[in-house]
Structure 1
């Protein structure tokens, strides 16, 4: 039944007394909200390894790994196993079970240091490259109670170290760049003769002795082309014809934003209206000033950048708009939260990425509201007590928390006599929307209850419960693609605001349903696994897994 033909019901005002003032505040907020939101929770004091790379899987487990040449880790391989041709019998990869708050050691054979990866449509993590014996290797991990990594020794045409991956509309992934790899390739290959393709943009943005174009920021644009940003500028790239479609202006100031002058970037939420996305914007924040890498190696630690650049790549004549963060930051992670806000977390306020090259940890996250007034977009959050420096990570979980781990600015595990010891702990940042006082405003999805599959352009119904009165205009349905996070960049990160939320209607006491339309094409949402949230007054429900086919 089409919801548009149903009669909308009006429910009595059922807020609990302690929610009344809060609702008034949310409906009529002050010009700039107060700072100091969010809270922290230590999950595990040690997972045995430093979380250098993380990926959430559709099983609600997280695969985590560091590198195989760090030395002996603090967790052993199971059943007395050792890596082949090695005396190292410790694990360098683990699977974290969110529900049980437990870890299971995994065996990765070749060196995954500074590698990359993509969650594939079948729910497996396909991870590519690394260092030394691992630079041409493709590894696959699909979660189950007894599963482990399996490896394809020569799965790549070129070495991929500090490369970036992105899922494509056809279900393959593209692997872009890497140290001294000014090209791109695909996985899986279409044929045994398929190889790599040159990308001159990576040559043009490479700086001798610094580079500043490693782990380039790559986003799939809604026209099917790729936005690729390296160093201080970006292009729109047709990867099928290997052609630059558009060159964008340099970011204001011209300072580098990619590794090792490590900033971060996100594709801002894509709002789908009548089957299309009107505005496509990229936000790039933080990094280090030009020359900071050389200075850090000479013992001088320049202050990090406090600027963000926002570029509407869908405009006919796009220009960068600069905004100033309340806290300067290098090596910060940028994550899309379920309500469309951007979380900026981890990192340092001086130096650059690399061994011993960062100083002065930034302990307080910042939340950026893309749709708020220009001078009120940043909110400083409550600080952690743990420094998260080089090789730290962060990912969004289905329950709305942010999993935070890692930090090892040393070439081995070092726990004493250093400024910033190797960090093996795992903690969670809880954004303010998880404050228990907001429970009456938080939706609970009641249907579908389990993972569901939808097709591009298909209309489907979400039923949810909220204990207070719901204004349909304050409801939105978002879908977030879980990202692969390493080195301050979340690959494949994407948030979609679905079409059809004005159909929200009451269907019983505190029960509602909304009819929404799945993203119309693979250019807007590549086939695969997403987390769907009902967001009410900017407060998200716990998400459910949705597979788009």
Structure 2
């Protein structure tokens, strides 16, 4: 009897202790054996649906359009009439798939989630390169297409939502300029950006999908190939040229690395430190070598630069393994997941080798040399045309991989991949999950800049106010190893947490000060206690 009581008391002690994340495990789960298409592009909508699409010019996909619909396109290179879908919607909550109808070619395009929660997607290939497509966040919505809505053809471009609610569309194949959407007038033009000429090798076109980040002074940090600038887009003026990343190796398509704007901490209504992290890529000459059957080892290095420093310099560090075509995803508690990709070769048809199956966690606040942590591996190679994005429950949705011109499932190194899976970081470990805080329905979900925002949550363990943080994460548009519009903010006020009932707490935080810091739109908001994030809730700032 006494021993049973001791065991029970020990159980209670362990059950009420903070989760030991250092010993918790990350896990993988296959969600769908086939979604019918390969996930080349993904965007999470504020109704917990994920819009996924591939391209229209490879022939039939593995999922039929609904209600006997067919796409008829006289410009298509493969099929003039096609009754299969090349875009689908994945419902995270029900795990169901709904085929969507897209008419023109959306291959290697870009997009941004607008303030009203709709996805505006721009460009593509062939007859889709000047087209804008819109899909709203509703149960039955489908793509609406606006022909000739772009001034220039946009293929391999990068989009970013701006403080005023429009999006900027930068670069693309043989496009050394930028434009805006929606247009203020039908006569609105594109604006030349010589930086894209200066950083491009015309034989390789090696600065596609440039890395673009809005920083808190309202300017854009634009990284292409191995260099970066600070752009005042409103005046079409380069305000600063940053030093070349050490080594000078290319980091953009086809030497595809990835990049994130590191989490921003609010301090008295400002963001004193703004940093960008660029990881992976391929050495100079790798793309040509891959074309000739020689697959060079990918880059192992990451460069971190304090954009806000008057005299910024790159600080270099090394990942546990080389990686090209990796995706970088901001997690709710402020760490960075590096996932997908290969250790040899480059992006492009058949040019990657040796899949990297182990994701890596990057911990920005750790000391240099102690920031990377290797995670549990998947068994599914995620090569060229793979994707990854954060879900509201803290998992990371992973899809795609098709290094072939057409769908090819047999007699190839890396078959076309139609499976969708989820990576769960250590905070989703069974021993941690039950200890995560839970935001309650009486929390504030709409607010304005600078507002005091009341968030209420439950916790089965005693809450230490010094260990509480509230974060806001923007859902990103992911393709070709870059998550456009991705940003994470630590809001001020976590230490105001107080108990308001049994296992119930309240924290009052201050909303971001301006649209330069957080463009008006939907965000996922999380409460983090002892590095364990809650499930997020959708909030809207305007």
Residue in 2 that maps onto 1:41: 29
2:495 to 472, 489, 502: 502
CA–CA distance in structure 2, aligned partners of residues 424 and 42 of structure 1? 11
SS at match of 2:290: helix
What's the CA shift for 1:22? 5.2
CA–CA distance in structure 2, aligned partners of residues 95 and 441 of structure 1? 32
Residue in 2 that maps onto 1:30: none
- 1:391 corresponds to 2:379: no
CA–CA distance in structure 2, aligned partners of residues 204 and 233 of structure 1? 10
Residue in 1 that maps onto 2:535: 542
1:259 to 241, 246, 253: 253
2:14 to 5, 13, 18: 18
What's the CA shift for 1:147? 1.3
What's the CA shift for 1:210? 1.1
CA–CA distance in structure 2, aligned partners of residues 509 and 63 of structure 1? 40
> Is contact 1:14-1:468 (8 Å) kept?
no
> Is contact 1:296-1:352 (8 Å) kept?
yes
1:51 to 6, 31, 39: 39
SS at match of 1:463: strand
CA–CA distance in structure 1, aligned partners of residues 119 and 224 of structure 2? 25
Residue in 2 that maps onto 1:477: 470
- In the superposition, relative to structure 1, how do residues 20 and 336 fare at CA in structure 2: closer, same or farther (>3 Å)? same
SS at match of 2:72: coil
What's the CA shift for 1:531? 0.2
CA–CA distance in structure 2, aligned partners of residues 509 and 14 of structure 1? 23
- 1:71 corresponds to 2:53: no
> Is contact 1:391-1:408 (8 Å) kept?
yes
- 1:380 corresponds to 2:374: yes
SS at match of 1:110: coil
2:278 to 280, 284, 290: 284
- 1:304 corresponds to 2:291: no
Residue in 2 that maps onto 1:234: 228
> Is contact 2:18-2:530 (8 Å) kept?
no
What's the CA shift for 1:355? 0.2
CA–CA distance in structure 2, aligned partners of residues 463 and 148 of structure 1? 36
SS at match of 1:379: strand
What's the CA shift for 1:375? 2.0
CA–CA distance in structure 1, aligned partners of residues 255 and 434 of structure 2? 44
What's the CA shift for 1:16? 3.3
> Is contact 1:19-1:440 (8 Å) kept?
no
SS at match of 1:438: helix
SS at match of 2:369: helix
* TM-score normalised by structure 1 residue count: 0.94
Residue in 2 that maps onto 1:5: none
CA–CA distance in structure 2, aligned partners of residues 15 and 475 of structure 1? 25
What's the CA shift for 1:126? 0.1
CA–CA distance in structure 2, aligned partners of residues 143 and 236 of structure 1? 33
Alignment of structure 1 residues 444-455 onto 2, 5 Å: 444-448=438-442, 452-455=445-448
SS at match of 1:375: coil
* TM-score normalised by structure 2 residue count: 0.96
2:208 to 214, 223, 229: 214
| Deviations 1:466-512, CA, capped at 9 Å, x for gaps | 11111111110000000000000000000000011111111122211
CA–CA distance in structure 1, aligned partners of residues 297 and 186 of structure 2? 48
- 1:411 corresponds to 2:405: yes
What's the CA shift for 1:105? 0.3
* Structure 2 gap segments, 5+ residues each: 1-8, 74-79
